Structure 1
Amino acid sequence: MSPLDKKMVRTLHRYKGQAVAIAIVIALGVMTLVMMTGLASTLSETRSKYYERYRLADVFAPAARAPQTVLQHLASLPGVTAVEGRVTGGALITLEEAGRPVRATALSIPRDAYPLINNYMLTSGRTPRVGRNDEVLLLQSFADAVGLAPGDSLSATMNGARRTFVVVGLAQSPEFIYIAAPGEMVPDDTRFAVLWMLEDAMAAAFDMKGAFNEALLLLSRNANTQEVIAGANRLLDKYGGLGAYGLEDQASNRFVMEEIAGLRATVGVVPPVFLAIAAFLLNIVIARMIQSEREQIGILKAFGYTSLEIGIHYFKLVLVIALCGAVLGGALGVMSGRLLSGVYQTFYKFPFLVFQISASAFVLGVLVSVLAASAGAILVLRSVFSLTPAIAMRPPAPVDYSGTGAFGPRMRGLLDQPTRMVMRRIARQPGRILGAIVGIACGMALSVGMVSILAGFDKTIDMTFSVIDRSDAMVSFTHPLSDTVQYELASLDGVNAVEPFRVVPVEFRHGLRHYRGAVNGLREGARLNRALKSDLEPVELHTNGIVLSTALAKVLDAEIDDTIEIAVLEGRRPNLTVQVTGVAETLLGSPAYMSLEGLNRILKEPGRVSAVYLSADSDRLAALQLYFADMPRVAGISVKRDAEQAMQKIMNEGAGSTRYVMALIAAVITFGIIYNTARISFAESMRDLASLRVIGFTKGEASFVLLGELAVVILVALPLGALMGYFLSFAISAGFSTDIYQVPSVFNPSGYGTAVLVVLGASVVSGWIVKRDVDRVNLVDALKIKE
């Protein structure tokens, strides 16, 4: 080991407090980078392999009823490698244990029980046998949630007829990774099921003998998906085609892809903030180190060491701190990633989800941390090259503080001597004080940003389920019915109010942008489910215009008075051109709204509704659900309370739980910044504090001079940090938001108070540690003059 390397080890030991704190800041930044990158790549890789192994379709082409012969024409489309038709249908399962009907999707499977496309993974039991039309496979997540197993029976209403089935096996499918009932956004294993039945049984149940109502297409690698979709639509148009769509618009896949995109967006926002703070702290520490070792640098140069060698020596010190932080961050990133991958597997039904991180993520983490540390130190190291041996070994000239002003007789009357010393130190070193203020403000900003996101998640739930949706339940129908159905439902015992609406699946187009979604037709003056402005006032619904949600307007890049095209995907499938008349504030989904009358008019289907919102007595709600389950026209019943609880569970235990990890990291970062600031101030003031003790100041008075300065810095940093956090919260909320759910940045006074308490708590702990060191200072050693 060279002499300079031995000196580096001694220096690291002397500055171990600051070195450890900076390494932890770097480690947390790298941990976030590795964790989020690993989770995104794990979800992406697992998704791709799962889809490939079980041959998930590239294009889905639903229709009302098409003959099997059409499949040959679909197979002849350019780029299509395989085609398979199937029968799909809705069902309502009634379970005594659940106490309410459960929505289900029924899918046909070939006689050999294994589809060519959209295959399933049998997890237990066996497949249905030919000729046994009462045997079904059941989605494993639903079976586990309600306690069903192979050999159990269940009752379901299909196409208006009640049937009893025997569960012979359980299965998982890449088509149902994110499990939510059709038309709903919130997953809940207890509220949605999937049944697989032999094609003969499904054809008999839904009158589809010799026909199919959904075609599944696999494409070659170089196929043009949009051309295939257009070709499929042409072939299925006369058979009631409902609009083919690609895998990117498949409901389950869309949720998974949005989660992956959210993770990758977070990687671009949070880790750079952590690493920038680490660079700032390293800049301060290295500057202090070079200033205190000025004479040693002069001696080293006098003995023949070049400026480059000495600069590399200090640079190696920075690299050791950065590399230690990067290695620690990588290890923590793998540990936290594995923990969170288990959480993701709970809500995304992958058969396996093993956290894996590529070497590139570690390399990127190390590279970014080293570059950040280098940026923080390299400007300071320039001063090493400017020092000559003669100048370096000479004590530095006293600093001229004549321009900083003096505290006159009035200040002496208002402030005691220790307080005047605190104010004098601040006035004489404005650059260092400003740096400390900015550093602590950055820590405060991180805490404020994460607290705002916590409040944003809560606002999403409150806005969606308390302000926008004020109903108790929603009843959806198998097909649009006459609006007179509302009077039938309003007459039921326990129903207090009924509000009809209509949901029409469409594809929005604006310029080069498009989005597959739905138009919600609301009754004028709707009260149970409303379209609201940002100020929570109802949006006026025009009979000739459309109101877009904020998320949809952003996706389409559309504003008020713009004209958009709408391709309707049901009925006669007209193509419409409508004007945007308003923007509604929604935080769940990307809906669009029209007046119910206007929507029915342009569709030329007056007096039609596809669902109703209900307000009902809580003690009658369970009985009403069972009553609706026996109605052949009812496709499903959704109770708002169940959806809200499921959403809350996702936010607290599922993918949303990452925000708690980020909030904890922000708190640790804040402590590291404040502790480092206090330690650096102590190192700079140790000789002065010892002098105060010698001339008669008590330990408390000497500590007050140091900690008083820290207190002033923190008090000034708090409002600056709150302001910085306010703007940072917008960037973080944008990273968490998707077109499926939006997380607003919320100004929450209690949340800001929590962030202030975090900073003050870190300040108290850091101050206590530093005061203990002040009390332990050896006065003789501190006052020695090194020749």
Structure 2
Amino acid sequence: MTLMPEILAIPGVVTAEARVAGTAVLDLPNRTETAVGRILSWPESDAPLLNVPIQRTGTTPRPGRADEVMVTEPFAEANGFQIGDSFIANINGQARALTITGTVLSPEFIYTIGPGALMPDNEGFGIIWMSEPAVAAAYDMAGAFNALSLRLAADARPAEVLDLLDSLLEPYGGLGAYGRDRQQSDSFVSAEIDQLRGMAMVVPPIFFAISAFLVGMVMSRIVALERAQIGLLKALGYSDLEVCVHYLMLAGLIACFGILIGWGAGTWMARGMASQYAAFFDFPYLIFRVPAWVYAMSGLAALITTLLGAVRAALAAARLAPAIAMQPPAPPRFRRSVIDSVMAALRLSQSTIMVLRSIIRWPVRSGLTALGIGCAVSTVIASSFMYDALDEIMDMAFYQANRQDAMLLFNGDLPETALPDILRLPGVLQAEPQQFHAAVLRNGPREKTVSLEARHPDASLSRVIGAEGQVIVAPPGGILLAERLAGHLDLGVGDTVEVAFLTGRRETHEMIVTGLVEQYFGLGAYVDAGFMDATFRQSARMNVANLMIDEDQLDALHARLQDIPALSGLIMMTDTRTSFLETINENVVIVNGVYATIAILISVGVAYNAARIQMSERARELASLRILGFTRGEVSMILVGEIMLLALLAQPIGWLLGAWIAQAMSNSFTSDLYGIPLVLEADNFAYASLVVLGACLASVLVVRRRIDRMDLVAVMKTRE
């Protein structure tokens, strides 16, 4: 604590708060599995100055009472704790009975995961606050500290403060200072915000483009159907500008209705998403509020998009001369082609020939319809690819790279000669040693703090797996780097990287990059365990043991682990796999449902409007066929067949667009914490096609019913 005046004297430091922190194995009532707690000191004289927890229930530990603690509210709720309940904690090798006096939520632990864990486990990991004298005595830290928080002035330069702080604390074993951006909870929350920001940059423009296309297609058809009315209005004296404004106002009115619907649906979905974040992160409270500028910007974007989509049709209407507009449009020029010869040679039915000729003679209209349906297909692919990507991550991370049932974490380095003792624990079938070392990797001005992993070449429980599923072994004398880490440091195979260790002898060594490996979680760096021991000039050591366990003896193993003083933590990989899978499945189902709904709406919008306008344009033609003896089915085939054939032709377009959007989303999701691979399976494309084709068929069948109710006499009397 004598360093505090020097720390406060660092330029830019406004407030500094030191504390003692440690880990403990917990023996919780009504729980057979081993739990882990992070012990933090609570100032005896006053409340903390920084990272101030919010008191939810109860009171703080009373001065002089070493057995009283506060815990995080999610930990208490998950284990059913009430004020006054007790549990046992193995703190630095001594079992202590602790009594809960209160529950809190801390801004430091919005996303609470245990050491080495990938997912939060509020039942098996909790944060515990004890009075400062009790924690200091338990960890032999009286008058000392091992954790420090700073608040900087607004004009401070964080990099300079961190350098000065590192220089001051290095002789005392400092592990390296870092900014809030590397604090665990801040990193996860910031990564989530960045992911949402990336989606906001990729997804909305795509949907607005699709909307503009749909509006343009519908308005063009409306103008084509209202040629006579346009000509009559112009003959009565309406100007080109008035006609153009009329159709733009029609599009604007449609946009206004759509904006109101979008605001309502968007608010509802945003509230649901906020509720999910409130359940996933441990926020003390959550105020749901959509700023007014969001409604304004979204409404303005929708209005501009709609008008841009309608402007071509509106200008076309304005350019129509009255005499020309009041006449039917000139039929397309017919000229026999090779396609007609092929259709004749194939002896196709008359209905099929009419469908094909309609598509061929109106290529622009057919192409735009197919493009709209393809956009719907791409929407489903862009969302459902995430499920395949996460499945790939699960397989790579949990079943190929990390195949162990559990990981034992120790307070310090143990000799590998302790491995036989671990093998004698109840239910342990296999045990392998592993080392983790905090280190700073540097390449010129670039540097990154990572956890360096060391394992033996014959390790089978924890391995390094390449992108093609092959096992990659770090050769002695070299270092393997994750591709994203190598990108941060601008390193390639054969380059030399400076490794400054923050543990053990705290030495700095140069290592050759012998390979790059694709990795989805974190920024990994890997070396050979024997090479690491030789580098540190020590016998074979380990600080983690990977285990294969007999499930029938889990209870006995957990009971034995709670009595091991050197144990600082336990990660049950089987539980982590299950938790990760459940969380992912829940989120993916919701996201896929939303995007499938959007795709169905787009499909219905394109197919229904195309069929409905086709029906209006060709009503006289279809009625003539009925009078000539064509059955309802044959006449319906002309309408249904054309739209469904275009829908089939749209599938490859949608597949290509979906793959491109999925690639953009995959790139936007990449961060230091994780990376999302681009995985596009055949069933992904099949699912998207089935959803869209089903929606198109349902839409066209609704229009087809009008053919059955068609008044043939009234239709034939209608002027062409």
From 66, 69, 88, the counterpart of 1:136:
69
- What are the within-5 Å matches in structure 2 for residues 157-168 of structure 1? 157-168=90-101
Cα drift, residue 753 of structure 1: 2.2
Cα distance in 2 for residues equivalent to 1:497 and 1:662: 45
Distance 1:681 1:151 in 2: 75
Residue 254 to residue 410, structure 1, CA distance change in 2 (3 Å): closer
Q: Which of 747, 752, 755 is the matching residue for 2:680?
A: 747
Contact 1:456 1:746 (8 Å CA) reproduced: yes
Q: CA deviation at 1:412?
A: 6.4
Instruction: Indicate if the aligned counterparts of 1:249 and 1:516 stay in contact, CA closer than 8 A.
Output: no
Counterpart code for 1:442: C
Corresponding residue SS for 1:81: strand
The one-letter code matched in structure 2 to 1:726 is A
Equivalent position of 2:275 in the other structure: 342
Structure 1 distance, partners of 2:310, 2:487, is 42
C-alpha distance in structure 2 between counterparts of 1:670 and 1:599, whole Å: 59
Contact 2:481 2:526 in 1 (8 A): yes
Structure 2 partner of 1:20: none
2:392 corresponds to? 459
- Cα distance change of structure 1 residues 404 and 396 upon mapping to structure 2, 3 Å threshold: farther
Deviation of 1:122 after TM superposition, in Å, equals: 0.9
Aligned 8 A contact 1:71 1:215 in 2: no
Q: Distance in 2 between matches of 1:438 and 1:547?
A: 46
Indicate the larger mover: 575-584 or 161-170: 575-584
**Alpha-carbon deviation of 1:432?**
1.3
Q: How far apart are residue 481 of structure 1 and its match?
A: 1.6
Q: Which deviates the most, 91-100 or 194-203?
A: 91-100
Alignment of 1:161-200 (within 5 A): 161-200=94-133
The answer to whether the Cα contact below 8 Å between 1:107 and 1:202 also exists between their aligned partners in 2 is: yes
CA contact (8 A) 2:69 2:101 kept: yes
In structure 2, the CA distance between the partners of 1:513 and 1:326, relative to structure 1 (3 Å rule), is farther
Q: Which residue of 1 aligns with 2:3?
A: 70
Alpha-carbon separation, structure 2, partners of 1:362 and 1:338: 14
The superposition leaves residues 595-643 of structure 1 with CA deviations (integer Å, 9 ceiling, x where unpaired) of 1122333344442211011112111233223212211111111111111
Please say if 1:589 is aligned against 2:514. Answer: no
- Are 2:56 and 2:102, in contact at CA under 8 Å, matched by a contact in 1? yes
| 1:419 is aligned to 2:352 | yes
Distance 1:420 1:410 in 2: 7
Shift of 1:717: 1.6
* Counterparts of 1:273 and 1:601, CA distance in 2: 56
How far has the Cα of 1:406 moved from its partner?
6.4
Deviation string 1:75-111 (CA, Å, 9 cap, x unpaired) is: 0111111111100011111113221221111000111
Distance 1:430 1:695, change over 3 A: same
| Cα distance in 2, alignment partners of residues 625 and 289 from structure 1 | 73
Cα deviation for residue 513 of structure 1 reads 4.5
SS of residue paired to 2:340: coil
Displacement after TM superposition at 1:754 (Å): 1.8
Deviation for aligned residue 1:493 = 4.1
Amino acid paired to 1:482: P
Structure 2 equivalent of residue 628 of structure 1: 561
Give the C-alpha shift of residue 123 in structure 1.
0.4
| TM superposition shift of 1:413 | 5.9
Alpha-carbon separation, structure 1, partners of 2:678 and 2:358: 39
Q: Is the 8 A contact 1:344 1:654 kept in 2?
A: no
Q: Does 1:263 align with 2:192?
A: no
Match of 2:21 in 1: 88
Partner of 1:112: 45
Match of residue 247 from structure 1: 180
Q: 1:106 to 1:639 in 2, by over 3 A?
A: same
Question: Alpha carbons of 1:655 and 1:519: their partners in 2 closer, same or farther (altered >3 Å)?
Answer: farther
Equivalent residue of 2:414, what SS?
strand
Deviation at 1:657, TM superposition (A): 4.7
Residue type of the alignment partner of 1:732: M
Match of 1:50 in 2: none
Of 136-145 and 535-544, the range deviating more from structure 2 = 535-544
Does the Cα contact within 8 Å between 2:332 and 2:361 map onto a contact in 1?
no
| Residue 612 (1) aligns with residue 548 (2) | no
SS at match of 2:640: helix
User: Contact 1:77–1:231 (CA<8 Å) still a contact in 2?
Assistant: yes
Structure 1 counterpart of 2:702, one-letter code:
I
Which secondary structure does the structure 2 equivalent of 1:407 belong to? helix
What is the match of residue 601 of structure 1? 534
- Percent sequence identity over matched residues? 37
Structure-2 change in CA distance of 1:525 and 1:680 (3 Å): farther
Question: 1:343–1:655: 8 Å Cα contact kept in structure 2?
Answer: no
| 1:770 equivalent in structure 2 | 703
Deviates more, 1:546-555 or 1:108-117: 546-555
Could you report, residue by residue, the CA deviation over 1:31-81 in whole angstroms, capped at 9, with x for unpaired residues? xxxxxxxxxxxxxxxxxxxxxxxxxxxxxxxxxxxxx11011110111111
* Residue 233, structure 1, aligned to residue 169, structure 2: no
How far residue 502 of structure 1 moved from its aligned partner, in angstroms, is 0.8
- The residue aligned with 1:579 is 512
- TM-score w.r.t. length of structure 2: 0.95
On the 8 A contact 1:111/1:130 being kept in 2, the answer is: yes
The reply on whether 1:307 has 2:218 as its aligned counterpart is no
Question: RMSD over aligned Cα, in angstroms?
Answer: 2.1
Q: Which moved more, 1:740-749 or 1:650-659?
A: 650-659
2: CA distance, partners of 1:410 / 1:202: 88
Number of residue pairs aligned between Structure 1 and Structure 2: 720
CA distance change for structure 1 residues 406 and 594 in 2, over 3 Å: closer, same or farther? closer
Aligned partner of 2:683: which letter? S
| Gap change, CA 1:318 and 1:535, over 3 Å in 2 | same
Whole-angstrom CA distance in 1 between matches of 2:104 and 2:86: 16
Give the counterpart letter for 2:416 in structure 1: D
- Secondary structure (helix, strand or coil) at the match of 2:385 reads helix
Aligned to 2:467: 534
Instruction: Give 1:771's aligned amino acid.
Output: R
Matching residue of 1:360 = 293
Q: Matches of 2:30 and 2:68 in 1, distance apart?
A: 21
Task: Give matches, 1:217-616, under 5 Å.
Answer: 217-402=150-335, 407-408=340-341, 411=344, 414-510=347-443, 513-616=446-549
Q: Which amino acid aligns with 1:239?
A: Y
Tell me, yes or no, if the aligned pair for 2:39 and 2:127 is still in contact at 8 Å. Answer: yes
Q: Does residue 655 of structure 2 align to residue 722 of structure 1?
A: yes
Residues 673, 732 of structure 1: alpha-carbon distance in 2 compared, 3 angstrom cutoff: farther
CA distance in 2, matches of 1:540, 1:680: 64
- Contact 2:426 2:556 (8 Å CA) reproduced: no
Q: Which residue of the partner structure matches residue 3 of structure 1?
A: none
Bigger shift: residues 746-755 or 518-527: 746-755
Gap change, CA 1:196 and 1:756, over 3 Å in 2: same
Could you list the runs of 5+ residues in structure 2 that have no partner in the other structure?
Answer: none
After TM superposition, give the deviation of residue 705 of structure 1 in Å: 0.6
Shift of residue 404, structure 1, vs aligned partner: 5.1
Q: Is the 8 A contact 1:136 1:165 kept in 2?
A: yes
Question: 2:598 is matched with which residue?
Answer: 665
Residue 678 of structure 1: CA displacement?
2.9
Question: Deviations for 1:329-368, whole angstroms, at most 9, x for unmatched residues?
Answer: 1211111111121111111000111221111211221122
The separation in 2 between residues aligned to 1:551 and 1:86, in whole angstroms, is 34
C-alpha separation between the residues in 1 aligned to 2:485 and 2:106? 29
Question: Is residue 466–residue 472 contact of structure 2 (8 Å, CA) maintained in 1?
Answer: yes
**Aligned match of 1:121:** 54
| 1:274 Cα deviation from its structure 2 partner | 1.5
Following TM superposition, by how much is the alpha carbon of 1:461 offset from its aligned partner in structure 2, in angstroms?
A: 1.9
Q: 1:447·1:667 contact (CA, 8 Å) conserved in 2?
A: no
Deviation (angstroms), 1:473: 0.6
**In the TM superposition, what whole-angstrom CA distance separates every residue of 1:718-746 from its partner, at most 9, and x where no partner exists?**
23322332232222233344332333222
Kindly indicate whether residue 144 of structure 2 is the aligned counterpart of residue 211 of structure 1: yes
State the Cα distance separating 1:410 from its structure 2 match: 6.7
